[in-house]
Structure 1
Amino acid sequence: MPKLSSKAGLSPPSSPHSALIKQSYSVRDLVYDTLKQQILSLKLPPGTAISEKEIALDFQVSRTPVRESFVRLAQEGLLEVYPQRGTYVSLIQVDLVEEARFMREQLERAVIRLACSHFPAEQFTTLEQNLTQQQQCQHEPDDGRMFQLDEEFHSTLFAGCNKSKTWTVIEQMSVHLNRSRMLRLSSNHHWDHLIEQHRSMVQAIQQQNAEKAEHLMQEHLRQTVTDLAVLRSTYPSYFQ
């Protein structure tokens, strides 16, 4: 756990009163954002016990922003709070993984069909640059970076079709799915097939071949079902 100062990244406030407000808000978000990232990246694996006291000491902050962060993370399904027993990083819920995958499949098949009708040139450039970075990441494996590039690839498709708010909804629904995806990336660095699927999608969009693009997207997202079965067998303690 990183030891972060409660003043990390803050700019000088304009008044003592605003200093208290700004510092309180920033510290709360700093703790929340860092803990959420550590949970999603599996640096805090499913089932890990965490305590307000220890987190507050690690971050060098009071327990109030930690408690508030715990509440937010519990509301998002990333923490489980058991009175008199403690707080734990939630196990990955298989039914929620499948529900998020189902939603993504339906929406992303529709979006990639839209992309085949019209897709801005600048977004094509973004996709090409993303593919180049994915290939570089394959040569020097970085699980977190690959996950980020994967997310950026798909979010660019939504942005290019003027559906960015739809992508935001997907993100909110995908915390359990994303942890299983991260687990897959970290347990197997053979990402060639993943990258090739992305490249084929871009080519189908360029060719305005909606049927092919939709089929590729469906195949791409249904791979999660196969991956999930393997992951549950390999890491049974991570799943509920």
Structure 2
Amino acid sequence: MAETLSEKAYNIIKERLLYTKKGSYLSIRKVAEELNMSYTPVREAFLRLHKEGFLELVPKVGFFTNCIDINEILQIYEVRECIELFVFKKIFNSIGPKHIELLKKYLEEQKNCLDKKDIHGYVKADQKFHEVFLEIYNNQYLSNLYRNIREQYFICSNNIAERHSGVAVEEHERLIKCIENKDFEKAINLLSMHIENAKQRVKDGFRRVS
């Protein structure tokens, strides 16, 4: 039961962090009261979030929301590139009609979120789009690593995504077209360009809000 409560606390707190000002102090006891839970499962959730990089622990002070900087995000993009291009090359010939329909579904979710100016929803749909390829590859360790690094910079998406989101949607549309045409080389180049362009959009976004 304690493990179940800890998992529940983890998921709720992690979602809240996406909308919490970075550098904010978080009290385990206060959060436990808000969630109507005991201290122990909430503390376990805090420690797990700290281990994953979402919370910073200051000895004898407590936990704070993590402030991820531009250099860390650029390093994350390097990891993204390594994982995504490796996987995409491996599974390209296994992408079937049902996978293409999923890609189109998530692309429509992105467009709808963009129309509503729901940037967090937009970024979640973007993540689901890219995870289609990892699901085909079916390596849980790579999938977990990818999901974790995506969530690491999800916290800054509101500040950096809005201006260029439409461009990313167009890049996804072109990628789907290449997949449908079975154009391996062009698809690889487009995916590589897409990730590089996303990295540049992050740089521009940080300069704009800094």
TM-score by length of 2: 0.88
Which residue does 1:195 correspond to in 2?
169
Secondary structure of 1:191's match?
Answer: helix
Structure 1: which 5+ residue stretches go unaligned? 1-21
Cα deviation code 1:27-67 (max 9, x no counterpart): 2112111111222x2x1132111111211221122221221
Higher radius of gyration, 1 or 2: 1
> Of the two structures, which has the highest relative contact order with CA contacts closer than 8 Å and spacing of 6 or more?
1
Write out aligned runs for 1:1-240 (5 A): 22=1, 24-39=2-17, 41=18, 43-163=19-139, 165-185=141-161, 188=162, 191-236=165-210
CA distance in 1, matches of 2:29, 2:138: 44
Name stretches of at least 5 consecutive residues in structure 2 with no aligned partner: none
- Number of positions where the alignment pairs a residue of Structure 1 with one of Structure 2: 210
Measured at CA, do residues 76 and 59 of structure 1 come closer, stay the same or move farther in structure 2, by a change above 3 Å? Answer: same
- CA drift of 1:164 comes to 5.4
Which stretch has the larger CA shift, 28-37 or 132-141? 132-141
Flag the structure with higher helix content. 2
Going from structure 1 to structure 2, the CA distance change for 1:169 and 1:190 (only over 3 Å counts) comes to closer
What residue identity is the alignment partner of 2:57?
Answer: V
Which residue identity lines up with residue 30 of structure 1 in the other structure? K
Q: Which amino acid aligns with 2:112?
A: Q
Root mean square deviation, CA, Å: 2.2
Query: 8 Å contact 2:22–2:65 — kept in the other structure?
Result: yes
